[in-house]
Amino acid sequence: MRRNPPSPPTGRPLNPGDEQRPGTPQTGETLCWDCKGSGRLSGRSCPTCQGSGRVVVSVGDA
């Protein structure tokens, strides 16, 4: 018997800078604070956002 591993709704893996899974209610993508959305840091892919320039954070509405 094999169990299916849990996966995010979008299938996108979490980046180190992500606070929440993509698709989670009351979350949103915002510019990465480390690379300021450029996706690069010191000439390399930003480790926080994995070069995407965006991270998923909790936004909330309460």
CB of 57 to Zn ion, least distance (A): 13
Q: Which of 49, 57, 58, 59 binds Zn ion (CB under 5 A)?
A: 49
Residue 32 to residue 15: CA distance in whole angstroms: 11
48 in contact with Zn ion (CB under 5 A): yes
Complex with Zn ion: residue 7 or 38, whichever CB lies closer: 38
Look up residue 28 and give its DSSP letter.
Answer: E
Residue 36 to residue 53: CA distance in whole angstroms: 7
35 in contact with Zn ion (CB under 5 A): yes
SS3 state of residue 31: strand
Q: Summarize as ranges the residues that interact with Zn ion (CB under 5 A).
A: 32, 34-35, 46, 48-49
